[in-house]
Amino acid sequence: MSNPTNLQYTKEHEWVSIEGDVATIGITEYAAEKLGDVVFVDLPKVGTSTTYMKICGEIESTKSVGELYAPLDGEVVEINNAVVSAPETVNTDPFGAGWLIKVRFTSLPELMTAEEYSALTGEG
């Protein structure tokens, strides 16, 4: 598996794609594979404020529960309802159709590059 170089990453295995002042957020392929088949995602409501590294959602597989940590401060402007109704998309396309939330951020913390994240997960 390879982590796209156009994305940024957190140590909690989220990926972040920045466009203007909106960040699209998902979990990495590494995280999705560790979880196993995702059967349920619990996402924050649109309008919820997010705080850097505070839990804002849950991703459940048959075996375990993964937490979604907010990678930045801001406000949820969109959630991926397609993933809510088809949670397996997190496994099949974690970096694409399996995105989870979009957040309009107020400040941008320092995130990891693909190379740094790959080193963290031992894929480097």
CA–CA distances in Å: residue 48 to residues 19, 39, 53, 74, 119: 20, 23, 15, 9, 33
- What's the closest the beta carbon of residue 13 comes to other proteins, in angstroms? 15
| Residue choice 1, 5, 63, 96 for contact with other proteins (CB under 8 A) | 63
Residue 65 in contact with other proteins, rule: CB under 8 A = yes
Q: Total binding residues for other proteins by CB under 8 A?
A: 15
CA separation for the pair 1, 30 (Å, rounded) = 8
- What's the closest the beta carbon of residue 48 comes to other proteins, in angstroms? 16
Distance of CA 96 to the CA centre of its chain: 11
Place of tokens 């919820």: 48
Instruction: Record the tokens describing residue 72, joined without a space.
Output: 């930045």
Residue 5 in contact with other proteins, rule: CB under 8 A = no
The residue ranges that bind other proteins (CB under 8 A) are: 33-34, 36-37, 39-40, 42, 58, 60-65, 91
